[in-house]
Amino acid sequence: MNKEEIKSRLIEGNNRYVEDKEDLKSDIVLRQKLTAGQQPFAIVLSCADSRVVPEMIFDCNIGDLFVVRVAGNIANSSSIASIEYAVANIGCKLIVVLGHESCGAVTATIKGGDNGKNLNHLCSFISPSIELAEDAHVNSVVKANAKYNANLLEKNSEIISGFVSSGKLKIQPAYYSLTKGNVDFL
Ligand SMILES: [Zn+2]
């Protein structure tokens, strides 16, 4: 699949999910086939929120998506390292950075204050998005944050930026609606 075909596959899967017509089926035959190796067709950098499950949202099976989840879908060194592996060793051609409606990590960042060493560090990857957002609404900051962290993936990884500049990889920020179940590519 080329980059556009991968995007279409994700959109079609999300349409099935929205319409409650999922195709997902994992069985022993598939599990055994996948013991030989993985060939996921896309990477998703998603929030850890229990309501945002990329495999379900895109109606994908085991082995289909290389999913990295961390609160606020941030591009820190661990998420970048995981993604670098999928880009350089598996050859994934599309990274979706998936923000979502009413994200708790984004809400905490907007609220500010001292949240302790670890959450403060996480919020530091989100806070520039407050200024970049169209307005102060949490979901506007979520969208800005998906774009900002999509840029960080490239900025902070020579491997990722190298694949993007040679046309082998595309990074796509996106927004998931908890209410409707649909994903908008931003
Ligand atoms: Zn979240």
The CA 49 to ligand 1 mean position distance, Å, reads 5
The predicted model gives 2-11 an average pLDDT of 96
Rounded average pLDDT over 19-42: 93
160 Cα–ligand 1 center, Å: 24
Q: Contacts from 102-107 at CB under 8 Å and sequence distance 24+?
A: 102/138, 102/139, 102/142, 102/178, 103/47, 103/49, 103/72, 103/138, 103/142, 103/145, 104/49, 104/71, 105/47, 105/71, 105/72, 105/74, 106/72, 106/138, 106/141, 106/142, 106/145, 107/138
What is the pLDDT at residue 80?
Answer: 98
Instruction: Note the residue count of the chain.
Output: 186
Ligand 1 centre from 151 Cα, in Å?
A: 18
Residue 152 has pLDDT above 90, yes or no: yes
Distance from the alpha carbon of residue 106 to the mean position of ligand 1, in angstroms? 7
Instruction: Output the average pLDDT for the chain.
Output: 97
Q: How do residues 85-136 score in pLDDT, each as one tens digit?
A: 999 999 999 999 999 999 999 999 999 999 999 999 999 999 999 999 999 9
Q: Is the pLDDT of residue 26 over 90?
A: no
Which domains does the chain carry? 3-22+39-185 (3.40.1050.10)
pLDDT at 109: 98
What are the tens digits of pLDDT across the range 56-99?
999 999 999 999 999 999 999 999 999 999 999 999 999 999 99
**Distance from the alpha carbon of residue 90 to the mean position of ligand 1, in angstroms:** 27
CA of 174 to the centre of ligand 1 (A): 13
Reported as a pLDDT band with limits 50, 70 and 90, residue 23 is confident
Task: Say how many Å lie between the CA of residue 143 and the centre of ligand 1.
Answer: 12
- Is this model's pTM higher than 0.95 or not? yes
For residue 99, the CA-to-ligand 1 centroid distance in Å is 7
